[in-house]
Structure 1
């Protein structure tokens, strides 16, 4: 969401920024300006009429004949207030379709081909020409593929035996690591209402990708939704900032936009596991807050001794709500490519404006909107797939990474 006055006064700038992200919204912007202008007029009329009514109220004791005029004016104010609400609703509905604008230093591009690699870290035992993780898991009978399809449908997975134990160990490791870095663990709900999805900008844009239940409730696409909404409609004490939350949840997405992609394996599932980290802070601390999150994921990935790289997403590959995103991509030798394992984003005040989340600046005593950040630490299923491909041995066993061994009663499976 935006400052409406600033948005209206800077049409060319915002349309240019929207186009950088692949959104061509000239018609929508014209509609916004039309309704916003009408809305401002109703504000002026409302203020003038209320001032007149106050003056009449003061005069009525001496001149009772003014009661009828006051009654008519009250009726007019009521009617205008309803018109004002309707116009504001139209304005917000239009503006809700406008994406967050990228920072000026984001690489300009149309898609992932224009993203910029900013760091690549290859380990000594960087593997090539290995076997696809799904083939390994099926050969070792570590997943129940047919049963998953029968029970839930395609793009679902059921782990069994030691694979299930490794998945559980990864979940504990990710949470333990985040907690050690001072992220407060939250047991997030898996069902949320449409208002909180609007607050984090999943709605209305991405409704088709969500699993909708009854009564305008949805399964969460990410724990970012409930975690960020912990500050909705609140004024947070500045001394508490930054707030740092982590949560392990199952996440649910229809993956409509990726139909036909990654249909094999456990890379893109309708139900997947993830530890999410969310940070809520101040604009002035932007660089330090984001750097801390990047350093956290680096440190976490370094412990797995698997090659990875950092990618600065171009404008056209940024998500709807993001101002800047750094993707961490881990090496998959069976696919001979890097795949996203974590995506860290600066959202800025885009979500905070939608959910009216603020703090009072100690120096200026003014209410300011909070800055929000989010990312994965990490995507569990994808990390498991990467471990399977990178730690697969000639004797057909899979070694357990050292960092994970303390969570398991076996060192290979």
Structure 2
């Protein structure tokens, strides 16, 4: 969420930033709503002050046995009491409307983010590794998985419908091995604290990280009003909601290996084959809580941690700086890691690492204070996939496929596979 004071002082800057995101100007509308609310608040304060003053004057008039003045003042107080509830209701409605308007404004891009409309305007940061060089034709992951006998979409559809997958045997273990490898790397070498957190959260948590109210249709909701998390970013970031942290304890770095749940609203017809776009998938999430001065440096660090996963797996990938029109709602700057998939003959996103500034900190009311400071500041937050386990499974299958359809296990995963070095067709 953006600071209304900043919007009042910088309306042109807000609209210019929104234009970079191909969004309509909104500063005038928000400022008008804020001015109306402030006017009602001032009116309420004036009424309260007058009521208090008149009450004192009533006492003085009665002490002077001035019944006529006392009655006149009592009538004035009564009128104020009758008028105030309506003004209070108006103030509540205007405050809710202003907060709703503010909650739907996307974050302001950093100055160095490339301006563009969509993914065609994203900018290459660097490329790591080489594409595999084979003499045989590459097959897609679902062709490999079904031929091996360990990937079943028909049974998944029988259980849950479209966009679910059943993995069995060594492919199920490979998925688990990839997740375990990621979480071990981030906790053992990258300094993240592992967290086991709920998979269902309240409205306030979804609001804090920006999924609500704008993206409700992308989420799954339980019958008792809780939400299934679309990413562990929600729980990890909200760990500090409503708190005032000591600056010397920052940055806080959290990681979690959890299922994620997404409705994939608006994705009809996209990636219908295979397990690229699922309603349920595992992801290793990275979250950092930092100060304003260190958040950009932390962004580079987090991205490097995610890249290390792909480097150790020997996967070819590229890192992209997203343009203003392709960034997520709460991001100020985003790097996407796109892994090479030989079966599709293209790059696909496998991680997205974003710095959000104090956008989420304001929504969560999460602050920090320096050792010698009286005032507090809102924390800066960052989040990234370190990485998406299902897509990493796809990448491993397609990049380590052999001509006979078997899959070689990357060296770093062999210990997690109990020494198994190759997945072959089920007998």
Q: TM-score, normalised by structure 2?
A: 0.91
2:129 to 122, 132, 143: 122
Partner of 1:287: 296
Q: How does 1:6-405 map to 2 (within 5 A)?
A: 6-26=6-26, 29-59=27-57, 61-64=59-62, 65=70, 66=73, 69-123=76-130, 125=132, 129-180=137-188, 181-405=190-414
CA contact (8 A) 2:131 2:340 kept: no
CA contact (8 A) 1:127 1:390 kept: no
**Aligned equivalents of 2:40, 2:56: Cα separation in 1:** 24
**Aligned equivalents of 1:387, 1:347: Cα separation in 2:** 31
Measured against aligned partners, the alpha-carbon deviations of 1:141-181 in whole angstroms (never above 9, x if no partner) come to 11122101111111110100000111111111111112122
**Aligned equivalents of 2:78, 2:181: Cα separation in 1:** 68
Distance 1:220 1:126, change over 3 A: farther
**Aligned equivalents of 1:160, 1:312: Cα separation in 2:** 37
The Cα shift of 1:352 comes to: 1.2
Query: Equivalent residue of 1:407, what SS?
Result: helix
**Aligned equivalents of 1:272, 1:380: Cα separation in 2:** 7
**Aligned equivalents of 1:71, 1:361: Cα separation in 2:** 49
**Aligned equivalents of 2:75, 2:225: Cα separation in 1:** 45
Query: Equivalent residue of 1:317, what SS?
Result: coil
**Aligned equivalents of 1:223, 1:25: Cα separation in 2:** 32
**Aligned equivalents of 1:230, 1:53: Cα separation in 2:** 44
Query: How many residue pairs get matched?
Result: 411
The Cα shift of 1:56 comes to: 4.2
Which stretch shows the higher mean deviation, 308-317 or 15-24? 15-24
The Cα shift of 1:81 comes to: 2.7
**Aligned equivalents of 1:208, 1:217: Cα separation in 2:** 14
**Aligned equivalents of 2:131, 2:9: Cα separation in 1:** 55
The Cα shift of 1:261 comes to: 1.3
**Aligned equivalents of 1:42, 1:217: Cα separation in 2:** 35
Which stretch shows the higher mean deviation, 29-38 or 140-149? 29-38
Moved over 6 A (4+): none
CA contact (8 A) 2:260 2:282 kept: yes
The Cα shift of 1:132 comes to: 1.0
Where do 5+ consecutive residues of structure 2 fail to align?
63-69
The Cα shift of 1:50 comes to: 3.3
**Aligned equivalents of 2:11, 2:224: Cα separation in 1:** 38
Where do 5+ consecutive residues of structure 1 fail to align?
none
CA root-mean-square deviation = 1.9
Query: Equivalent residue of 1:82, what SS?
Result: helix
The Cα shift of 1:78 comes to: 4.3
**Aligned equivalents of 2:346, 2:127: Cα separation in 1:** 13
CA contact (8 A) 1:46 1:81 kept: yes
1:411 aligns with 2:425: no
Measured against aligned partners, the alpha-carbon deviations of 1:206-251 in whole angstroms (never above 9, x if no partner) come to 1111112223322111111111111111112222211111111111
**Aligned equivalents of 1:183, 1:246: Cα separation in 2:** 6
Query: Equivalent residue of 2:336, what SS?
Result: strand
The Cα shift of 1:126 comes to: 5.2
CA contact (8 A) 2:303 2:384 kept: no
The Cα shift of 1:123 comes to: 3.3
Measured against aligned partners, the alpha-carbon deviations of 1:176-220 in whole angstroms (never above 9, x if no partner) come to 112122211111211122222122111121111111222332211
**Aligned equivalents of 1:269, 1:297: Cα separation in 2:** 21
The Cα shift of 1:20 comes to: 1.4
CA contact (8 A) 1:126 1:307 kept: no
Which stretch shows the higher mean deviation, 188-197 or 55-64? 55-64
CA contact (8 A) 1:123 1:305 kept: no
